[in-house]
Amino acid sequence: MNRILGRLGRMDYLIFTAGLLLSAVGIAAIGSVGLAASGAGLSVVAKQTTALLLGIAAALILTALNYRALDHYARIIYLASLLGLIAVLFFGATVNGTKGWFVVAGWGFQPVEFAKLALVLLLARFMSQHKDVSDLKVLANSFFLAALPAGLTILQPDFGGAVTILAVWFLLMFVAGVRRRHLLALAVSALAIGLVGWFLFLQDYQKERVLTFIDPGRAPLTRGYNITQAKIAIGSGGLFGRGLGYGSQSQLRFLPEAQTDFIFAVIAEELGFVAVLAIFLLFLAIFRRALALASRSPDNFALFLALGLALNLFVGFTINVGMNLGLMPVTGIALPFLSAGGSSLLASWIIIGLIQSVAARSEGFNDLTLREEAAGLLVKLDNA
């Protein structure tokens, strides 16, 4: 018991507090949108709060457990995630045209959220055993590991989930030192896969999302409506916002999917630029500390695990905020910690727990300076 308490005492409280604050803001924004939906909105708040409590419990348990055990079980966890992605194609429920949820007693479970984490675990194991990412064979094998869950996710069809999986893989390979000519080959391959997906897998509404992103005026009252309303909401928030429950776009239901895809726009409208800046700083704190942890990680598995988990959050954050600002196509990617959705919130807190598990076993981690972090990570990646 003393040993467990000792591990919890060595956790990184900045990361934990940042995740807690983001989750609290998300629940407040979800509740605000729920005011316009009466009892249905309160139900979403109750589910989100329950998911948060489960997530915090999972994070504390993972902090106490040794992350090295995951090195041994990474392949089993990865295979289980693939089975989940296969099973949902046959037995899952269809939501917004995507067959990607298991629904039991009113609770939805989205396997792709946990498939992302399983992939990070396996890639961390793979990269710790095959250190030279400049080797084309190593790069191709790692891509195969990412392509399997991405392909199954496209079949749902969930284009956003597949893009997230491939983006996490690509960024992990990039920071690990992939060669430029291999990057060019990857870019050509991505273009080819995109063309195949466009003609064989993407539904008409998904194609329209991409076309509307290129030309927002293409369908201002249909596919372009979401982006237009999100921009209006963000622009009308001003410095301090209109106040919780007083956002015209969210409360009058002009903003579709306000609790999920466009929760960032709700926060910007009702809490203003100050809240948006705070959210950016909280995410930055998590990313920065995760990179610092990678630089002081006790082994290569921990190094790539911390990097992969941080990149998972970074990709979700970037894509969601990008589509709210009209900089990226609307793909249905949740904003970590903030969007309504138990699977996304629970997965985000599992990431926190795994990062904490590494932090609790990294000597001198909390004494690291910013300059040492950057230099240490570069040296660590070079040696790995």
Tally of CB atoms within 10 A around 230: 28
Q: For residue 102, list its beta bridge partners.
A: 109
Burial (CB < 10 A; 0-12, 13-18, 19+), residue 91, is exposed
Rounded distance, CA 216 to CA 270, Å?
Answer: 25
Could you report the per-residue pLDDT of 186-215, keeping only the tens digit for each? 777 777 776 776 676 666 666 666 666 555
Check residues 214 and 304 and name the one with the higher pLDDT.
304
Which of 18-32, 155-169, 252-266, 316-330 shows the lowest mean pLDDT across its residues? 252-266
Confidence at residue 97, expressed as pLDDT on a 0 to 100 scale: 75
Taking every pair of Cα atoms in the chain, the longest distance, rounded to a whole number of angstroms, is 63
Confidence grade of residue 367 (pLDDT, cut at 50, 70, 90): very low
Among all chains, which residue has been given the structure tokens 């960032």? 264
Return the closest-CA partner of residue 230 out of 274, 269, 273, 283.
269
- Asked if residue 24 has pLDDT above 90, the reply is yes
Q: Is the dihedral angle over the CA atoms 311, 97, 79, 149 positive or is it negative?
A: negative
Rounded distance, CA 193 to CA 136, Å?
Answer: 19
Rounded distance, CA 41 to CA 259, Å?
Answer: 9
Domain ranges of the chain: 2-383
Sequence-separated (6 or more) residues with CB below 8 Å from residue 160: 319, 331, 332, 333
Confidence grade of residue 368 (pLDDT, cut at 50, 70, 90): very low
- The gap between the terminal CA atoms of the chain, to the nearest Å, is 34
- Asked if residue 261 has pLDDT above 70, the reply is yes
DSSP string, 41-106: HHHHHHHHHHHHHHHHHHHHHHHHS-THHHHHHHHHHHHHHHHHHHHHHHHPEEETTEEEEEEETT
Q: For residue 99, list its beta bridge partners.
A: 94
Rounded distance, CA 131 to CA 304, Å?
Answer: 11
Could you report the per-residue pLDDT of 62-74, keeping only the tens digit for each? 998 888 888 889 9
- Asked if residue 22 has pLDDT above 70, the reply is yes
Confidence at residue 7, expressed as pLDDT on a 0 to 100 scale: 60
Confidence at residue 283, expressed as pLDDT on a 0 to 100 scale: 97
Mean pLDDT of the chain: 82
Could you report the per-residue pLDDT of 62-111, keeping only the tens digit for each? 998 888 888 889 999 999 999 999 999 998 888 877 888 888 877 888 99
- Asked if residue 148 has pLDDT above 70, the reply is yes
Check residues 139 and 29 and name the one with the higher pLDDT.
29
